Amino acid sequence: GENVEQHPSTLSVQEGDSAVIKCTYSDSASNYFPWYKQELGKRPQLIIDIRSNVGEKKDQRIAVTLNKTAKHFSLHITETQPEDSAVYFCAAAGTASKLTFGTGTRLQVTL
């Protein structure tokens, strides 16, 4: 089955800096890659996603890039703010539609 690896497990950046989180997946049939943000004790919230026919997608300060050849995708957050502090999960899904999640990255944005 699919296996998703996520790095780093923790990331601390200063407010205004950029943050990058990277994921790799194993199943070449996977073609949908969402990113979720989860604040403590709350539900995972979909923040951006990308499908395999697209190499990059941007939504304001958030962007995701996908390299299908290398089987990796990344989340980029620019101009980080304290409210960006949370745990971020990447995920991958193929024809079965079930999401396989990475292990999460705890992002801390310091003032």
Partner 1 sequence: DSGVTQTPKHLITATGQRVTLRCSPRSGDLSVYWYQQSLDQGLQFLIQYYNGEERAKGNILERFSAQQFPDLHSELNLSSLELGDSALYFCASSVLSYNEQFFGPGTRLTVL
Contact footprint for partner 1 (CB under 8 A): 32, 34, 36, 42-46, 49, 89, 91, 93, 95-104
User: Which CB, 49 or 78, lies closer to partner 1?
Assistant: 49
Torsions phi, psi of 84, nearest 5?
A: -80, -10
Nearest CA to 75 out of 38, 54, 94, 50 is that of: 50
Please, which residue, 38 or 78, has the CB nearer to partner 1? 38
End-to-end Cα, the chain, rounded Å: 41
Least spacing, CB of residue 97 vs partner 1, in Å: 5
Which one, 42 or 83, has the nearer CB to partner 1? 42
Place of tokens 């999640």: 101
Cβ neighbour number for residue 100 with a 10 Å cutoff:
18
**Shortest spacing between CB 32 and partner 1, in angstroms:** 7
